[in-house]
Amino acid sequence: MKLDTRAIRYLTGEDWRVLTAVEMGSKNHEVVPTTLISQISGLRGASGVNRSISNLAKVGLIAKVKNAKYDGYRLTYGGLDYLALNAFIKRKSVYSIGNQVGVGKESDIYVVADESGKQIILKIHRLGRISFRTVKANRDYLRNRNSASWMYMSRLAAMKEFAFMKILKDNGFPVPTPLDQARHCVLMELIDSYPLRQVTSIADPPKLYADLMALILRFASQGLIHGDFNEFNILVNEETQQPVVIDFPQMVSIDHTNAKEYFDRDVQCIKTFFERKFKFISDDEGPTWDDVKRTGKLDIEVEASGFSKKQAKELDKYLQQVTQLDEREGGEAGDISPDEDDEDEIEQSSDVEEDDDEEEAEGEKYGGEHSNLSKDNP
Ligand code: ADP
Ligand code: MG
C-alpha cells in the first residue's frame, strides 16, 4: 500500500481531531457512528465535524461503511499512517519523506529524513494484509476477536520491534539503532547495506557463515532467538562484509515452547542459503540446541521496556494463527490489505486516486526527492 503524504500539510486542526476521534472510536466499534465521532472530537457544531469527515474521506484516511444498523466510518491504514507520521513530525523525529525501499510481507519500508536532513528508515507494520485474505471464515474469525485487530496487532509488532532493537543495540548486537516509535511505525538508523540475498560479492563465505552462526548462538546465550534469521533479514556491507540483523517482531525467548524448533530453523536457513548460493557446506555440523548456554536474560529484561509479557503473548498468538492460516492456504498469499479486501462493503469516494504500487518501488535506493511534511515549510 502506497503512502501518499500529499494531503498531510493541508489537514486542519479540526481534521486531525476528527481523525483521532475515528481512531479512538474504532477501539470498540468496527464501524464508528458519525454521532460518536462528533462526540469524541469535542468539536462544537455538526457542520465542522461533517466538513472534516468529508475532507478525510476524500483523501482516503477514513472510509464510509454502510452497516445494517447504522452508517459510520472506519479508519483506513492511510489514516493510521497519517496519525503516526503526525506524531513523529510533532516530536521532530521526521521532517520529510523519500522513496520506498522495501515492501516486506507485513511491512512497508521508506527512507525519510529528520530536520538535519539525515536519512533514516521508517518501517510501517501492516499486519493483517495477508491473513485477512481469501477464506471469509478465517477473516471473520480473526477480525471478530477484536474489531480493530489489524491496527492493534500492527502496533504491537512495532512496539515489540522497537523494544527488542533497543535492548539488542544497548547490549552490543549488530542491529540498526532504534530512533522512535509511534503507533504501527518504527524509525531506525539506515544501514547502508543490502540484504545478503542481493549482495553480489562475498569475499569469504566460510567466515561470514561462521560469523552468522556465532551470532545465532550469541542471541541465544542472551535468551533470544531471532525466529526469521535468513538472507532477507541480514544486511551485509559490501566493503566490510559486516552483517547487521533486522526484523524482530517474531523474536522469542529460549524458554518459549517452540524455542528449539525456531533455533534449528534459523540455523538451517543459513545452511541452506550458503549451500545453494556458495556451494559451501561447513565441516562443523553445529550449532545445535545443546550448544546454547544461557549467560544473560535479555528476554526477561525486555519486558520492563514498555512491551509487556501480556502483549508479547497476544502478538505471538496472532502470528501463530496467521502462519497456520498461510500454511493451510498454500503459502504465498497476495498482497491485499483489509482495506482493499473490504471494497464490497465500502462506498468509495469517486475522487480517491488509484494507487500504483509498482511504480513507487523503483528508482535509486536511497536517493530521490523528499517531500516535506511540515505546514510552514512548503
Ligand atoms: P519485513 O518484516 O517486511 O520483512 P524488514 O524489516 O525485513 O521488513 O525490511 C524489509 C526490507 O527493507 C529489508 O530486506 C531491507 O532491504 C530494507 N530495510 C529494512 N530496514 C532497513 C534498515 N534499517 N536499513 C536499510 N535497509 C533496511
Ligand atoms: Mg524481513
Q: What is the CATH number of the domain that holds 272?
A: 1.10.510.10
Residue 228 appears among annotated catalytic residues: yes
The residue assigned the cell 457544531 is 45
Q: Quick one: 182 and 201 in the same domain?
A: no
Query: Ligand 1 centre from 234 Cα, in Å?
Result: 9
Q: Quick one: 213 and 178 in the same domain?
A: no
Q: Quick one: 250 and 133 in the same domain?
A: no
Q: Quick one: 310 and 348 in the same domain?
A: no
> How high is the ipTM of this complex?
0.99
Residue at 377 is within a domain: no
Residue at 25 is within a domain: yes
Q: Quick one: 98 and 17 in the same domain?
A: yes
Q: Report the nearest-CA residue for atom 4 of ligand 1.
A: 104
Query: Ligand 2 centre from 339 Cα, in Å?
Result: 23
Q: Point out the ligand 1 atom lying closest to the alpha carbon of residue 106.
A: 3
Residue at 378 is within a domain: no
Q: What is the pLDDT of residue 338?
A: 42
- Asked whether 363 lines ligand 1 (CB < 6 A), one says no
Q: Quick one: 156 and 223 in the same domain?
A: no
What domain count does the chain have?
A: 2
Which among 348, 284, 281, 357 has a CA at the least distance from the CA of 126? Answer: 357
Q: What is the pLDDT of residue 333?
A: 39
Q: What is the pLDDT of residue 306?
A: 83
Q: Quick one: 138 and 119 in the same domain?
A: yes
Q: What is the CATH number of the domain that holds 102?
A: 3.30.200.20
- Asked whether 246 lines ligand 1 (CB < 6 A), one says yes
Decide: 243 and 204 in contact? Cβ < 8 Å: no
Q: What is the pLDDT of residue 359?
A: 38
> Which three cell numbers mark 369?
526527492
Residue at 64 is within a domain: yes
- Asked whether 232 lines ligand 1 (CB < 6 A), one says yes
- Asked whether 123 lines ligand 1 (CB < 6 A), one says yes
- Asked whether 287 lines ligand 1 (CB < 6 A), one says no
Residue span of the structural domain in which 286 resides: 194-328
Query: Ligand 1 centre from 109 Cα, in Å?
Result: 6
Q: How far apart, in whole angstroms, are the C-alpha atoms of residue 110 and residue 87?
A: 17
Q: Quick one: 91 and 207 in the same domain?
A: no
Q: What is the pLDDT of residue 298?
A: 97
Decide: 228 and 217 in contact? Cβ < 8 Å: no
Decide: 252 and 260 in contact? Cβ < 8 Å: no
Query: Ligand 1 centre from 233 Cα, in Å?
Result: 7
Residue at 1 is within a domain: no
Angle, vertex CA 24, rays to CA 18 and CA 30, nearest 5: 105
Residue at 375 is within a domain: no
Q: Report the nearest-CA residue for atom 25 of ligand 1.
A: 191
Q: Quick one: 89 and 162 in the same domain?
A: yes
Q: Report the nearest-CA residue for atom 3 of ligand 1.
A: 104
Taking the chain (378 residues) in runs of 10, the rounded mean pLDDT of each run is 86 97 91 94 91 97 87 93 97 95 86 96 85 45 53 94 98 98 98 94 96 98 97 96 96 95 98 96 94 97 90 87 64 40 36 36 61 67
Q: Quick one: 307 and 343 in the same domain?
A: no
Q: Quick one: 229 and 176 in the same domain?
A: no
DSSP bridge pairs for 75: 62
Residue at 293 is within a domain: yes
Residue at 19 is within a domain: yes
Q: Which of 228, 266, 316, 341 is catalytic?
A: 228
Q: What is the pLDDT of residue 116?
A: 94
Q: Quick one: 56 and 167 in the same domain?
A: yes
